[in-house]
């Protein structure tokens, strides 16, 4: 029996999702909690390898367990009790054995938060990048639209990624100014390259500052040249919001 | 020349606002930054002594400085540079010498945030209390209304306060469910007793859980008996939002 968890975390104190030697990771904490519960080694497979300092509200990870004695609807709160307070389990459901949380992904949604005000806000510091310069939101909205479509996004990919192709499809990209001063860039796509959302956010931020024009986005994409795009924004503004799967995978009886 | 600062902070790592021996406080950090800037001892007077773990977006504190060489409009960002990242200065303005940030207060607004969902949200943990039980928001709104008016709020006062009278006037008290799952209780009054907002929030939360009826609030107030009210909610849900002064104090030429 394969169980798919929906996991939320504050990434501030972790070296990202993926388990590694000599660093504390979210995966390790989740596996520790499951191992404690099942009294054996448990390995989980996640949908996304979020970077150090990046947050999640809807990470997905699965594991196999014929030996689970906790009722499925109680599993999230039992795991919350075994996890540190900066990691939470939101939901648990059974999925088919041949489901793979990474490769079955239909879409992923990320949000990038910028706090745009004259002084920093200590209550938002942990979850946003601070830009004091007044941003042109309308120009940012226009720039965001230009990312929608299927393109070679090599200009928006940091070196060090392992992807076979740099072609990705962006389904939507929007910019919203919230009443608390946050400017939220929300991107949904079929997949993202290494640092892609943070480079898209940095490029849209440059448009907000007047350093790049909205109508230049298409030619930056076409250039396939990383140096044409904006800078990579810092990790604390990024949140993995949702990972979507085709309904035939997750509506398992 | 007296200068009034508007200060925001994440109170998680502080033993409250007020300076004390053997504990790290926000006041100490603000005075350290000002002392560093002016190269002499600076003492500030604040509007509110927020408790350990309580946050602020609009704390006010003033100091006297004939020797300030930084232009007033640059002062906030200069102080931000001298302060730790969990404290920020939002604004600075000149006020009359006989203005007192504590005693001239016309109103104060506090918000209390409850995260109401089946599982905790690690991105809101630091700034809210978690209640998994589904809350009756309409009943909470009705209960909040009952706090509006001038009453003896002794039932909503923890022991240890130093107030001469327990009569206070509440101008407004509202409950709003936000789209991110936060339930925000916002209270504005001419002043608050020790732990008063956290006890009001705990009482309104009890109404949400069905442990107290909205129509019982008035008799709980009239009882002047602390044991009749709900429990004191934890500090991390509380934010000092705003301190208001009569316009003749703060519109100083």
pLDDT in tens, chain B (253 residues): 999 999 999 999 999 999 999 999 999 999 999 999 999 999 999 999 999 999 999 999 999 999 999 999 999 999 999 999 999 999 999 999 999 999 999 999 999 999 999 999 999 999 999 999 999 999 999 999 999 999 999 999 988 767 789 999 999 999 999 988 999 999 999 999 999 999 999 999 999 999 999 999 999 999 999 999 999 999 999 999 999 998 877 775 5
Tell me, yes or no, if B176 comes closer than 8 A to chain A by beta carbon: no
What one-character-per-residue DSSP string does A82-102 give?
A: HS-TTEEEEEEEEE-TT--TT
- Tell me how far CA of residue A109 lies from CA of A112, A172, A196, A243, in angstroms: 10, 9, 12, 6
Q: Which residues contact A74 (CB under 8 A, 6 or more apart)?
A: none
> By three-state DSSP, how is residue B83 classified?
coil
Catalytic residues of A: 51
What does the DSSP 8-state code read for residue B193? Answer: -
A75 CA to centre of own chain: 24
pLDDT score of B253:
53
> In chain A, what is the greatest distance between 2 CA atoms, to the nearest angstrom?
58
What does the DSSP 8-state code read for residue B71? Answer: -
* Torsion of the alpha carbons at B153, B155, B156 and B157, rounded to the nearest 10: 90
pLDDT score of B162:
73
Q: Report the relative pairing of strands B45-46 and B182-189 from DSSP bridges.
A: unpaired
Q: Check CB contact under 8 Å for B119 and A239.
A: no
Residue of chain B nearest A130, judged by CA positions? B85
pLDDT score of B249:
77
Residue of chain B nearest A132, judged by CA positions? B77
pLDDT score of A252:
60
Distance from CA of A125 to the nearest CA of B (A): 8
Q: For residues A200-223, give the mean pLDDT.
A: 97
pLDDT score of B28:
98
Q: For residues A180-194, give the mean pLDDT.
A: 96
Tell me, yes or no, if A241 comes closer than 8 A to chain B by beta carbon: no
> By three-state DSSP, how is residue A30 classified?
helix
Q: For residues A71-87, give the mean pLDDT.
A: 96
- Read off the tokens for B137: 């928001």
Tell me, yes or no, if B88 comes closer than 8 A to chain A by beta carbon: yes
- Read off the tokens for B91: 């604004």
pLDDT score of B247:
83
Q: Which residues contact A98 (CB under 8 A, 6 or more apart)?
A: none
> From start to end of A36-166, where are the E strands?
45-46, 55-64, 87-95, 107-115, 129-130, 149-152
Q: Check CB contact under 8 Å for B118 and A89.
A: no
| Whole-prediction pTM | 0.91
Contact A112, A182 (CB under 8 A): no
- Selecting from A10, A77, A118 the residue whose C-beta is nearest the C-beta of B123 gives A10
The answer to whether residue A251 scores a pLDDT higher than 80 is: no
Q: How confident is the model at residue A30 (pLDDT cuts 50, 70, 90)?
A: very high
Catalytic residues of B: 51
What does the DSSP 8-state code read for residue B10? Answer: -
Q: How confident is the model at residue A253 (pLDDT cuts 50, 70, 90)?
A: low
- Read off the tokens for B142: 């009705």
- Tell me how far CA of residue A108 lies from CA of A6, A47, A167, B119, in angstroms: 13, 9, 15, 22
Residue of chain A nearest B130, judged by CA positions? A85
- Selecting from B90, B119, B123 the residue whose C-beta is nearest the C-beta of A119 gives B90
pLDDT score of A250:
75
Q: For residues A158-172, give the mean pLDDT.
A: 88
Q: Which B residues in the span 105-144 are in contact with A, Cβ-Cβ below 8 Å? A: 118-123, 125-127, 132
What's the mean pLDDT when you consider all of chain A? 95
Tell me, yes or no, if A72 comes closer than 8 A to chain B by beta carbon: no
Residue recorded with tokens 């956010």 = A201
């Amino acid at each position: 029996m394969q169980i798919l968890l929906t996991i939320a975390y504050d990434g501030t104190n972790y070296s990202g999702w993926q388990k590694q030697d000599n660093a504390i990771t979210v995966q390790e904490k989740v596996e520790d909690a499951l191992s404690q519960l099942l009294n054996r080694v448990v390995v989980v497979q996640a949908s996304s390898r979020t970077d150090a300092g990046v947050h999640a509200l809807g990470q997905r990870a699965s594991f196999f367990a014929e030996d689970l004695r906790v009722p499925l609807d109680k599993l999230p709160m039992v795991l919350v009790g075994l996890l540190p307070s900066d990691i939470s389990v939101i939901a648990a459901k059974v999925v088919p054995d041949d489901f793979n949380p990474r490769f079955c992904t239909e879409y992923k949604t990320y949000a990038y938060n910028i706090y745009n005000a004259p002084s920093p806000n200590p209550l938002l510091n942990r979850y946003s990048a601070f830009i004091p310069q007044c941003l042109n939101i309308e120009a940012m909205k226009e720039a965001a639209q230009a990312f929608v479509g299927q393109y070679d996004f090599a200009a928006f990919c940091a070196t060090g990624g392992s992807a076979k192709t740099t072609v990705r499809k962006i389904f939507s990209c929007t910019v919203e100014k919230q009443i608390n001063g946050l400017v939220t860039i929300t991107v949904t796509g079929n997949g993202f390259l290494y640092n892609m959302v943070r480079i898209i956010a940095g490029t849209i931020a440059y448009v907000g500052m007047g350093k790049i024009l909205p109508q230049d986005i298409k030619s930056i994409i076409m250039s396939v040249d990383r140096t044409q795009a904006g800078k990579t924004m810092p990790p604390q503004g990024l949140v993995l919001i949702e990972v979507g799967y085709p309904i035939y995978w997750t509506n398992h009886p």
